[in-house]
Every structure is written in structure tokens, then in C-alpha cells.
Amino acid sequence: MKRVSLLQLFFAALLGSGALAPPMVLAQVPARFYWKTLSGANAVPLIFNSISGNTNPFDPAHIPMGDANFDGTLAIAGYARTFTMFDRSAMAAVLVPMGRLSGDVNVAGRTASQSAKGFGDPMAEFDLNIIGPPAQKTLADALRYEPGFSVDLLVDLAVPIGEYDSEKTLNIGQNRVYGRLGMPVVWQLGPWVPGRRTTLEFLPAVWLFGDNTDYVGKTLKTDPLFQLDAHLTHDFGEHFWGALDASWYSGGKSTINGVPGKKLNNLGVGFTLGYQVNDNLNLTFGYKSTVNDSAPDDLRMDGFMISLVYGWHPIIEGAKRLEGE
């Protein structure tokens, strides 16, 4: 096989996946996020979101605020790197959210307009494959790789240093530590050939929250929130793929100064389209919306997402330079 063909196959796996992009602010991990690629690969993602609903999109607790109406313009920048640990594929990523929020909030029976802007709480993510093929350490490993049925161990942790105003209920930062434990599953369906790949993917996870002891002068506590993401993905060509997405949220009851709120039991559905612009750049577009949101205290949220991910690997870049000589 010609070297250029090897490179095309590798980058189709690298950029066709979401393995080098961070979790979304809607707390739904995008399709193909946990596909694996060659150890030592790097990526810089830039993600833009336009979101509306009755909950703060920066807060993964997704606390519904009745008939409130929020609009948010959000961006996420970060860095991700793949590596090998215990002969298994691993990934570490850091992302920083930023943006603007505005809307009407009901406070003590009165409706007030609030807004917030600035940087949110940065988040670190670590992912380690525990079931599936061994890590891809060489180009030959990458070309032979097929996920089959793979399971990962996932840990996320957010640091509460984002913009926060204790006199407002609407904030970019959350003033508390929170994180996630999950087990991403990728199930290969059919052949693993660019242009023909199909996967069924799941991410069962639990979000854990510390207490916010200065929530408009009160203490906010949130029970663990269970979340299940599911994706059916398919290649429509060598450089173009799509996915049907769904998320289920359960639990996460919030208590303010001992007064309990309502547990979440909500479903969101959406779709994702991805296109490989060139060897290093991948473009993704997505939409998601809650569906069982007719009651006033139901979670209501919808949003559009556009992402650009620039990825590279020193070995591949060196091979490309040799190919051009």
C-alpha cells in the first residue's frame, strides 16, 4: 500500500472520531468521542454553542428553574493527547469554557433579568481503555486496529475557579467541585473500513457534586445525577459521517437550605454530522433538544453546536514531509 494511502487511513480514524474533542456543555458527550487512535496524537478543539432553555447550560446538574428563559452563547477551547498506559489506550484532556448568558429568573416570586459572562470552571478528563484491543503504538497497529467491543474507565473533574457572583442565581462558574465517573462503550457493527464504519455507542455515567455554600446566601446541595448517552453512528463516505443521539437524565435532586426540588427524569434527542476537511482538520455540526418537557418544572433545553478540531501526530507529520519531497 502506498504511504499516502496509509496516511489517509490513519487520519480518517484520527479525525473521523471525536476522541480528540472535549465533552459538550449540554453534558452529552458527542458521538465517536471515545474512538481510539495512535498513541502520541494531539488535538486542539474549538467548539461554539448556542443554547436556550430553563436551566444554566454551564451547570451539568441541569437544575430546572421553572418558567425561566435563558439564552447562552458558549465557546470551549482545550487540548487533548492520547498515550499508552499499562499497554492500554489512554487519553487526557483539559478544556476551558467561556461565554455569555442572559435570561429572566424568578427570585422570591419576582421575575428579574440576569446576565453573566467570562470564563467557566476548567475541567480535566482522563480515559483508560480496560476491555478491547491493545494500544496503538505504531502505524502498523493503527492500520490493523478494529474496536470490536471496547469498554473504558472515565474520570472528569471540574475546578471551581470560574466567574461567580453569589448574589446571582445565573453564573458561568458553579462555586463548587463537581465531576463524573463513567464507562464508555463502543460496539463495532460491520467492517472497519473508512466510508463503511458503523458503531453503537453508550456512556453510562454518574455526576457527583460538592455543596455550594454561597448560593444567593443559601446552601445548594445536589444528589448524584445518573446520565446515559447513546449514539448510532455511520459513515456516509470516507470523509463524511453522521449519528443519531439520545440522552437520559435521572436523579440529581437539588436542595436549597433544606427545601428539596424535583428529581430529573428527562430525555434529550439529537443528531450529529461530521466532515473531515483535510488531513488535520475536522468539522462537526450537531443539534439536541429535550422532548418530555411540557410541565413547567420539567427540564427544557435545546442547542446547536459547531466544532473545529485540529489534530496532529509527529510521526505522521514527518511522513507527510517525506512524501512531499
Helices (H), 70-202: 139-144
Residue linked to cell 452563547: 73
Rounded distance between C-alpha atoms, residue 55 and residue 222, angstroms? 14
Q: Do 38 and 20 form a contact (C-beta atoms < 8 A)?
A: no
Coil vs helix vs strand at 319: helix
Rounded distance between C-alpha atoms, residue 88 and residue 136, angstroms? 8
Rounded distance between C-alpha atoms, residue 206 and residue 170, angstroms? 24
Looking at residue 5, its pLDDT comes to 47
Looking at residue 3, its pLDDT comes to 46
Cα torsion angle, 152, 157, 163, 165, sign: positive
User: How is residue 25 annotated by DSSP?
Assistant: T
Task: Please state the length of the chain.
Answer: 325
Q: Domain-by-domain residue ranges, the chain?
A: 3-324
Please give the residue that has the higher pLDDT: either 42 or 296: 42
CATH 2.40.128.130 fits 3-324, yes or no: yes
Rounded distance between C-alpha atoms, residue 38 and residue 42, angstroms? 10
Q: Do 21 and 309 form a contact (C-beta atoms < 8 A)?
A: yes
Rounded distance between C-alpha atoms, residue 88 and residue 143, angstroms? 17
Query: What CA dihedral angle connects 311, 227, 160 and 213, to 10 degrees?
Result: 170
Residue 14 binned pLDDT confidence (cut-offs 50, 70, 90): low
Q: In the sheet that 212-215 helps form, which strands lie side by side, from edge to edge?
A: 212-215, 218-222, 254-256, 259-260
Per-residue pLDDT tens digits for 114-156: 888 999 999 999 999 999 999 999 888 888 899 999 999 999 9
The C-alpha cell that represents 199 in the structure block: 458503531
Average pLDDT over residues 70-75: 88
Q: Provide the whole-model pTM.
A: 0.88
The C-alpha cell that represents 29 in the structure block: 458527550
pLDDT surpassing 90 at residue 253: yes
Q: Do 152 and 184 form a contact (C-beta atoms < 8 A)?
A: yes
pLDDT surpassing 70 at residue 272: yes
Smallest CA-to-CA distance from 62 within 203, 218, 247, 252 is with 252
Helices (H), the chain: 3-16, 139-144, 314-324
Residue 325 binned pLDDT confidence (cut-offs 50, 70, 90): low
* Angle at alpha carbon of residue 121, lines to 222 and 152, rounded to 5°: 75
User: How is residue 73 annotated by DSSP?
Assistant: E
